[in-house]
Amino acid sequence: MKNATMTNAVFATKPEAVAILDVRDKAGILEALAQLFAEAWDIDAQTVAEYLEEREKLGSTGFGRGVAIPHARVPGIARPIAALVKLDQSCDFDAADGMPVELVFGLLSPESSGAAHLHALAAISRLVRDENVRNALADAPDEEALYALLTNVVDRDAA
């Protein structure tokens, strides 16, 4: 299962792009997310970090209700790809509602994508607005459970 990639949705993800991490601040979260993308998708972590940080300067991607959705358009990517980080401890992310985050969905899209990027953001937004899904992800005991929940919800919503 380690090499399985979920691609039937508006974004692709894989088990290697899901992690539970002990990160204590926003900068650390973005760095860890960039590293996760690099390892899972074989892209340059420094480039990803720079694009995520540049996007964050435009305004916080702290979605609210304990969720952040850092995202960016990055050259060299063929389609929207996603990563999910569950934090061991909630962390301030300058979210709109002032609440700390515990779930961080990263999204990278092709540099020239317009609608595809927005559709992927909307799909993630819908996913985390569902209280049952958000709580199940927050309560997941390990990466395998996180990926299984994510896959099941995205497959259900795509049907």
Note whether residue 3 is domain-resident.
no
Predicted confidence at residue 97, as pLDDT, reads: 93
Predicted confidence at residue 37, as pLDDT, reads: 97
Predicted confidence at residue 156, as pLDDT, reads: 59
Predicted confidence at residue 1, as pLDDT, reads: 38
Report, as ranges of residue numbers, the positions in the chain whose pLDDT lies below 70: 1-9, 154-159
Predicted confidence at residue 4, as pLDDT, reads: 52
CA-atom Rg of the chain in angstroms: 14
Predicted confidence at residue 72, as pLDDT, reads: 96
Domain hosting 129: range is 15-158
- Total domain count, the chain: 1
Q: Which residues are catalytic?
A: 71
CATH classification of the domain holding 153? 3.40.930.10
Q: What is the pLDDT of residues 107-123, one digit of tens each?
A: 999 998 888 999 999 99
